[in-house]
A and B are shown apart, each in its own frame.
Chain A
């Protein structure tokens, strides 16, 4: 029962990633693209967690945590660059 639910959830997250990809290519504003990338990172974190649950290991936990950190930093760096023309002033 749990395995079926996990696979349904993985399918839903794959659909969510497709939605994000559509917004990433469509735009139209740059803010939309940054937002789509940020959402993609969140969805990938969820997908990595799901893979860990399906495999029954906790090996993937560190990958999810690192993605959370790197995704946030990249979003903020991109926004700072667009706002100020520079990342570290």
Chain B
């Protein structure tokens, strides 16, 4: 039983490290920013997941009791990784339209335009509403 656990710890550790390395290598190797988003968000999250599983099994081997508090880390990462990837994609789309970023043609081609109107981040600011609090010269009286 303990031998099986030890082999499992070794396998999961090496698998997790391989996922992390592949994700970061994708960050270096892929041609455009939108494609570079894929490597870290998926592979790196999976890598941390397997490393956390290995850590739990290792604690079981050493102390003889199960420890589950490592799952908090992986739960938090699984929740937050899509959100931060979405935010980075929004920033990239925004800056691609607003500034002159020359992107190499990726495998997927240009990001599509939505059918009606534009992405929410590109809406022209309405003159009556300040775009940010930094633009507010004074508070409105009412």
Contacts and interface: CB of A to CB of B under 8 A. Distances in A.
A and B interact physically: yes
Interface of A: 1-2, 5-6, 8-10, 12-13, 15-17, 19-20, 22-23, 28-32, 34-36, 38-39, 42-43, 45-46, 49-50, 52-53, 56, 58, 61, 64-65, 68-69, 72, 75-76, 79-80, 82-86, 89
Given A8-B17, A38-B40, A42-B45, A68 B77 contact: yes
B51 A46 contact: yes
Given A16-B20, A30-B91, A45-B73, A6 B13 contact: yes
10 contacts: A5-B9, A22-B28, A23-B27, A30-B95, A34-B88, A35-B27, A46-B51, A53-B55, A76-B84, A86-B133
Interface residues of B, number: 58
Task: Say what secondary structure dominates the interface of chain A.
Answer: helix
Given A8-B17, A39-B23, A65-B73, A23 B28 contact: yes
A2 B58 contact: yes
Contact of A76 (B73, B83, B131, B135): B83
A12 B17 contact: yes
A68 B80 contact: yes
A63 B63 CA distance: 21
